[in-house]
Chains A and B, each alone.
Chain A
Amino acid sequence: MSERLAVAAFALVTLVALWVAPWAAFSRETGSRAAVILLPDRVIDFTGRTEPISVPGHAAVLWLSVAGLAVVAGGAALPGRARYGAWLAAGVLLIGTATWGLAQFDAAVETRRAQAFQEAIAPNIADPRPNQDAERLRQLSEQALTRPVERSVELAREAGVVVRRLPYGGSAPGFAAFLTLVAGAAALLFGLRLWPRAGRVLDRVLTAVAIPAVSIALALLAAAVVILLLQPTPLGRDVVVSGPVMALAGRLDTLWHAYYILFSGSLGTTKGFFDALSFATPLIFTGLAVGFGFRAGLFNIGAPGQMVLGAIGAMFVGLYLPGPAWVVLPAAVLAAAVGGGLWGAIPGFLKARFGANEVINTILLNFVAASLMLFMLSSSPTFAASAVRVIQLIAWVVVASVVGLLVPPIRRVMRISPRLTLAAVAVVTLVGAVVVAQPRPGDQPVVLNLPFKAPGSEPKSFELSEAARIPRLPAMFGIDLRATPGTNVVPVDAAAWIAGLLAVLAFVGGGAVAAVRRRGFQGRILAALAVAAVAYAVLAAIGWRALPLTIPPTNLNPSFLLALAAAVFVWLFLFRTRYGYELRATGLAPKAAEYGGANIPRNTVMAMAISGALAGLTATHYVLGGALEDYALRQSLPTGDGFDGIAVALLGANHPVGTVLAAFLFGVLKNGGSAMNIAFTDLTRDVVSMVLALVVLFIAAKGFLPDRLTHPLRRAQALGDLPEEPTGGTPGGDVPVVAPKVAATEGDR
């Protein structure tokens, strides 16, 4: 019922948008000014210097879209199968029309640009300079209409003419076209219910993604308000907004372009895509860390601190361990994991042994870690002599206490009254501290010059040894970005890469076969090797051993693959091992798990240690991977990623696959935030951080959705798919959507 209403309402909104919202934009300039086209053939120019363009077939696009939308909206009133049929047809019509229209628009813009190109080089043809080849230019001019303009410009440069700034650049679809496409897609999607089985799959998918999808949508909607408030419509010089149509079109174009900028760079360009992956890498680690904790029923807010300790561990190994890369690099990665793991194990231990809440302890440890890093990277921290004596005293007291606890006779005395002993020790320490703290003649302050701190006031360590560095993507292809900045084209042995990929696919895909045929591990490895060998031979024979490949300048480095491997590890550990099963059981129902034989204290420490280790592995990106300018530990280590990990884990429903996808989305948004900074005068990347926060808030509130929509069981009942069949084994409550199913199927292991 609500579905019909929603689809119809969306179609009606789109109908309105077709009249008032820009359908496409062109001549996008710096500062995001543009000229926009509204259907049918109304051009509004915000730049003040753009010749209007007419889209061929615009009337057909408009009326076909209107017809399609009308069918979608009207179809909602039809009964069952007729409705779905109507939606299917209308969906195809809408998507087809919009795609065709946009293609027409692109062609029109391209033609105009080609004509502009011809005009630009015309003077050079008529009166060539000595270095210019007039004959070639005439050829180019004749062929301009049949060749991509970018290519023409490139060829013209070779012929000696540099063409700068052709008009009509930066053309893009507008809000109305986008809404039409979405309406079409929605109609198609829900039209699938024509086939009951597809409908059931659809239901399951919708239930699973309802909360995150609605939360993201609501957060983006909230961002719309902020965008509209902050950013006035960008106008060219001497442009005056006249009339409500122009004003509204301007506002809608600003809003749409802000969203477009947010996503288009990462999803539309190679560099943007790699950068988004680079942003996503640490988030995958921290998201896995937090999600792993959640699964075990532990709330690890300590990822920022664990990141710091991981980075410190990686730095120590990277600076001081001599040896070849194949020794140092794995050791450094391990050190990152161990550093984070130990830091995570502390709150785990405190919870297991003393029942201290891990939430507050992890927060406290974040501050301690931050102070520790600041201490380590500050220039020559100074201790007064008396302070050193107090520290020595405390150290002695600690040593004495430990000795006392280990020597049986003293231990026996201490055990008579632990409180009294503690009080005595405290008094001795305090009095002793006051005594030794008295200044003495000849006291000199003790200055620590930490050996790893790089000289200068900048809080950073020395750079790591070459052996401990994970090369960035361009460096992996032998590109030195300092020598050749920007995008490079290099020959690449594509055969080896593709063969490797196929081998991995064969191995993974072999898993499905193996599950059915019960083939072993060795068989799959052999098969994968065979696939690789055959593929390499074939591809090498075709000549794919030196394909030109475009490598953009990017921070992306192989720690991304390590992050994916960590996700696989977490999945295997949680869902395919006894320990993981125990952890999940503890997370879902601690009492029951304990009754079933789970060792809760041990599991708590282990879970926190693994969680911390995952967070610590972010150092592979930030320190070993050199994502912060250089290969060093810097105080600018963005520990906020630890908090973002909470959002990532929530969005990914604490499942490794979901976490990777959520991290990618966040990577796209963060990358888009940087693009937003550049594209608009009054919008900054802070809008993105606000969106992320809102996503968390809305997911926490389950998207403000009623149970009927988000809860698999209740949804099935509401739809009438599920009669009074007994449903044992499906626990109710607010556990993540994926968890109960897995728990139920594996319950008998």
Chain B
Amino acid sequence: MDTVVLLALLGSALRATAPLLFAALGGMFSERSGVVNIALEGIIIFGALAAALVTYYVELPAITQNPGASVWYAPWVGVLAAMLVGGGVGWIHAVVSIRYKADQIISGVAINLMAIGVPAVVLTGLFGNSATSATITNRLPRWGEGAFQFSPLVYLAFLLVPITWYVLFRTPFGLRLRAVGEHPEAADSVGVSVTRMRYAGVMLSGVLAGLGGAYLSIGGFNQFITEMSGGRGFIALAALIFGKWHPLGVLGATLLFGAFQALETQLGGGQLLPPTVVQSLPFILTMLVLAGFVGRAIPPKAIGKPFEKG
């Protein structure tokens, strides 16, 4: 392979990594606080939907007067909407699993199920077809040179790695978040509100996963399509485990999975392997990791358990 192809491959790998990274870092906030967030997949979808719809309606007045009009702020409002909606869906997950002490996995499954039905209903109501939204004209800009032209959200995703690390390991908030996930009773006894920290963790994870969704619909593409996420939420969850719930580990894992996805698209023509084979490799790899062949993954101790204040 010559350099051009290799660079293109690297570029698309980084692009494929970004949404995974958003979701996985989001998942980390949630899981570090002790709440399993299997709903990432659904939140990505909701985020993507919100971003596409809001961008479309913000640019609509200008577009109707002059097709192709540039409304630079439209996609940014869309990004904001995706964050809000993601946070909102995260809030639902938080309410059900923290306030009502539901099984966190069931709650997550329910949100993922909703992410199949609700977008279809909304799209039918707005555009009369249940699969795609209208296309938008103003997508997020691209910054960079040559093969390395990325949406700002890609830079943000990678920037979030050190930020997350700093927040989790160098701030009181991060310490409390981790304490709540490891030993909620102890945290409670020194006056940390377990409930509030967990709400914060889950909603933050929703905001980040929503960003991942926004990247999919208005960063990498120009409309929302159902099943746009294609299991990225679950891959992110796997990456989170693969990366042992640590920002740097997560970065490595998502890069690996992103590379696989880039390979899948680059080699899609069946030049090397059938794409279906490449598709399943990250999943098999993660299972091997989980089985401990590549080092043990130890989750936060109190994960999945509702906190009963004694």
Contact = CB atoms under 8 A, between A and B. Distances in A.
A384 B102 CA distance: 49
Contact of B113 (A350, A445, A682, A696): A696
B110 A361 contact: no
Contact of B287 (A350, A383, A693, A700): A350
A687 B107 contact: no
A371 B118 contact: no
Contact of B114 (A299, A374, A694, A702): A694
Contacts of A375: 274, 276-277
A640 B277 CA distance: 22
Interface stretch (A160-168, A541-549, A565-573, A643-651): A643-651
Interface in B270-310: 270-274, 276-277, 279-280, 283-284, 286-287, 290-293, 299
A84 to B, nearest CB: 33
B280 A367 contact: yes
B114 A697 contact: yes
B125 interface: yes
Interface string A624-652: 00000000000000001001101100100
Contacts of A640: 116
Contacts of A737: none
A365 B116 CA distance: 20
A356 B292 contact: yes
Contact of A687 (B95, B106, B117, B291): B117
B276 A689 contact: no
A704 B95 CA distance: 11
A422 interface: yes
Report, as a range, how many residues of chain B touch the other chain. 35 or more
B226 to A, nearest CB: 10
A126 interface: no
Interface in A650-682: 650, 682
B130 interface: yes
Nearest to B118: A690
Contacts of A381: 270, 274, 276-277
A229 interface: yes
Contacts of B271: 382, 384, 445
A693 B130 contact: no
A696 B110 contact: yes
Given A371-B277, A650-B106, A697-B110, A360 B124 contact: no
B186 interface: no
Nearest to B290: A356
A307 B293 CA distance: 28
Given A684-B130, A700-B103, A643 B279 contact: no
A356 B290 CA distance: 5
Interface in B22-71: 36, 38
B9 interface: no
Contact of B106 (A387, A686, A696): A696
Contact of A387 (B231, B273, B283): B273
Given A371-B279, A647-B113, A684-B130, 15 more contacts: A360-B238, A364-B283, A364-B287, A367-B234, A367-B279, A367-B283, A368-B283, A384-B273, A386-B272, A387-B273, A646-B106, A682-B125, A693-B110, A700-B107, A704-B100
What are the 7 A-B residue pairs with the smallest beta carbon separation, nearest first? A690-B117, A693-B113, A689-B117, A381-B274, A686-B120, A700-B102, A697-B110
Interface of A: 226, 229-230, 299, 301, 350, 353-357, 359-361, 363-365, 367-368, 371-372, 374-375, 378, 381-384, 386-387, 422, 445, 640, 643-644, 646-647, 650, 682-684, 686-694, 696-697, 699-702, 704, 734
